[in-house]
């Protein structure tokens, strides 16, 4: 018997969209308008490096413009291609709608393995790629705002912002042309950790609903839960670190490009990350035992599986062997459409990518708003808030004196209560609120309709409904 063909990433996203749309009764024309990708721009450009001209291929895809700017990261990886960029752009549309970030969906990519280049070479390449996109308004604070994705980070975003400012010297909103910049270059506190932090908040919200936890054949809280993480990059590292340090989860397996590190007692995520930084992989790290076959470790026994690296790692080839009762898609598209069906049929609960990794775009939204308002969050209120708290503390101190031993203030209460929130606390609070609200909107559909049997379909339905409403409002 021949193995069924695995759909491409874009086909997978379309299949998941189709399943949700079929339950919604949208006019076929509107359904198609929402599904299709509006435009994809391919650029080839040359950069003189190491005495020769090297040609690079890059993409920027705009899936939807029902809100502008369109938003989505730029990925650096050697296997970037048009299908992948379009799939990721489509996911951005649904993700932004689900977390109510007022953006269309976009994504970019450059076919390059950043590990093959020195920092100054990457700067040259990034500047040239940014130049090609900026001159066509495919990077622009009002039209298209990139962010980091796999293989890119704060440094590339700072270079893009600088390139835009050089080409638009009088644009007062120039900094808002890209998010994920370092805080000293117009970024916002908490953006680097945001996607991993969002994964943690998503899991915390999931565990606030005992019915949902029971659907995954689990109970209790995140404390003591055994977690397998694939990819200890930006997203995987922060998610694993926060789950272990703040919620008591046990990171039993860390899967990287060179295999898997495992330890049933749990590993110190910072130690493993430092080891990878020094040695280029997990092999030899004393935190656990190393095995070459990283992919096989996805099938190990655990409570929560966190794929946080690349797409299609759970596919028709291994889905039936995945033991995790709960999977949270920290990466984009780690489960193919076919694998999704197999997992759903055997009762695995999947917290889908369009929700699970939306923390990044949520905090990017905050950064964009900060750039446009030209003021850091909390700057006007912080001291005023502290002064008002001081009034209450003064009254409590008076009471304390009056009542003697009958009543005393809890130690540390005064320090904690008096301190007004800084930017990082406000960002985390906004992110937490966003992740809770989005989960509840998804869950409401999942739990209230008999024909909706998973969170992904529910998430797509919430998102599609919002995109459809905004198209209708435009008269389409």
- Residues with catalytic function: 107
78 or 381: CB nearest ligand NAD: 78
232 or 455: CB nearest ligand NAD: 232
Regarding 202 and contact with ligand NAD (CB under 6 A), the answer is no
- Give the CB-nearest residue to ligand NAD: 233
Regarding 232 and contact with ligand NAD (CB under 6 A), the answer is yes
Regarding 109 and contact with ligand NAD (CB under 6 A), the answer is no
Total of residues contacting ligand NAD (CB under 6 A): 24
**Parallel/antiparallel/unpaired status of strands 70-77 and 144-148:** parallel
102 or 420: CB nearest ligand NAD: 102
Report the SS3 class of residue 70.
strand
213 or 324: CB nearest ligand NAD: 324
Quick one: which of 105, 109, 146, 360 contacts ligand NAD (CB under 6 A)? 360
Regarding 257 and contact with ligand NAD (CB under 6 A), the answer is yes
Strand stretches in 112-258, DSSP E = 144-148, 226-230, 250-256
Quick one: which of 104, 109, 190, 233 contacts ligand NAD (CB under 6 A)? 233
The DSSP 8-state label assigned to residue 186 in this structure reads T
The DSSP 8-state label assigned to residue 230 in this structure reads E
CB of 195 to ligand NAD, least distance (A): 4
Of 236, 234, 243, 225, which is closest to residue 261 (Cα–Cα)? Answer: 236
Backbone φ, ψ for residue 188 (5° rounding): -130, 145
Regarding 255 and contact with ligand NAD (CB under 6 A), the answer is yes
CB of 414 to ligand NAD, least distance (A): 37
Stretch that binds ligand NAD, among 56-64, 120-128, 307-315, 394-402 (CB under 6 A): 307-315
276 or 452: CB nearest ligand NAD: 276
- Positions 308 through 337 that interact with ligand NAD (CB under 6 A): 308-310, 330-332
- 305: alpha, beta or left? (left if phi > 0; alpha if psi -120 to 50): beta
Taking the C-alpha atoms of residue 356 and residue 394, their distance in angstroms, rounded to an integer, is: 43
Other beta carbons less than 10 A from residue 394's beta carbon: 10
- 277: which 2 tokens? 């930084």
Quick one: which of 146, 148, 190, 338 contacts ligand NAD (CB under 6 A)? 148
Quick one: which of 105, 108, 109, 294 contacts ligand NAD (CB under 6 A)? 294
DSSP for 41-53, written as a single string: EEEEEEEEETTEE
Q: Does residue 254 contact residue 261 with C-beta atoms inside 8 Å?
A: yes
Taking the C-alpha atoms of residue 299 and residue 230, their distance in angstroms, rounded to an integer, is: 12
Taking the C-alpha atoms of residue 251 and residue 259, their distance in angstroms, rounded to an integer, is: 16
Regarding 149 and contact with ligand NAD (CB under 6 A), the answer is yes
Binding site for ligand NAD (CB under 6 A): 148-151, 195, 230-236, 255-257, 294, 308-310, 330-332, 357, 360
């Amino acid at each position: 018997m021949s193995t069924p063909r695995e759909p491409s990433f874009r086909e997978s996203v379309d299949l998941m969209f189709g399943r949700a749309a079929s339950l919604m009764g949208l006019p076929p024309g509107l359904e198609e308008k929402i599904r299709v990708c509006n435009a994809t721009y391919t650029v080839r450009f040359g950069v003189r490096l190491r005495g020769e001209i090297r040609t690079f291929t890059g993409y920027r895809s705009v899936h939807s413009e029902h809100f502008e700017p369109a938003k989505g990261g730029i990925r650096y990886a050697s296997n970037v291609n048009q299908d992948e960029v379009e799939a990721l752009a489509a996911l951005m549309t649904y993700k932004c709608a689900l977390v109510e970030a007022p953006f269309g969906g976009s994504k970019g990519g450059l076919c390059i393995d950043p590990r093959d280049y020195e920092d100054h070479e990457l700067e040259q390449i990034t500047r040239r790629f940014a130049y090609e996109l900026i001159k066509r308004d495919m990077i622009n604070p009002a039209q298209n705002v990139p962010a980091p994705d796999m293989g890119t980070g704060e440094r590339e975003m700072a270079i893009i912002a600088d390139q835009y400012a050089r080409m638009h010297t009088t644009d007062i909103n120039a900094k808002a042309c890209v998010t994920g910049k370092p805080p000293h270059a117009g970024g916002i506190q908490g953006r680097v950790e945001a996607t991993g932090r969002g994964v943690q908040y998503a899991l915390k919200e999931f565990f606030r609903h005992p019915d949902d936890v029971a659907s995954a054949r689990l109970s209790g809280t995140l404390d003591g839960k055994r977690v397998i993480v694939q990819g200890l990059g930006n997203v995987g590292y922060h998610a694993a670190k926060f789950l272990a340090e703040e919620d008591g989860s046990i990171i039993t397996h860390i899967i990287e490009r060179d295999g898997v590190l495992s330890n049933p007692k749990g590993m110190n995520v910072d130690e493993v990350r430092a080891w990878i930084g020094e040695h280029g992989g997990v092999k030899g790290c004393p935190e656990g035992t190393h095995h070459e076959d990283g992919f096989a470790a996805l099938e190990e026994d655990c409570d929560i599986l966190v794929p946080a690296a690349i797409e299609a790692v759970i596919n028709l080839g291994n889905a039936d062997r995945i033991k995790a009762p709960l999977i949270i898609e920290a990466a984009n598209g780690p489960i193919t459409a076919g694998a999704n069906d197999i997992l759903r049929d055997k009762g695995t609960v999947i917290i889908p990518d369009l929700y699970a990794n939306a923390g990044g775009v949520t905090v990017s939204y905050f950064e964009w708003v900060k750039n446009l308002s030209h003021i850091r969050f909390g700057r006007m209120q912080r001291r005023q808030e502290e002064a008002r708290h001081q009034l209450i503390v003064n009254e409590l101190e008076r009471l304390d004196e009056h009542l003697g031993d009958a009543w005393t203030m809890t130690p540390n209460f005064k320090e904690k209560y008096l301190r007004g929130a800084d930017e990082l606390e406000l960002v985390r609070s906004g992110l937490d609120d966003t992740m809770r609200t989005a989960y509840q909107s998804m869950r409401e559909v999942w739990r209230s309709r008999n024909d909706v049997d998973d969170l992904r379909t529910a998430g797509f339905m919430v998102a599609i409904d919002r995109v459809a409403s905004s198209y209708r409002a435009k008269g389409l």
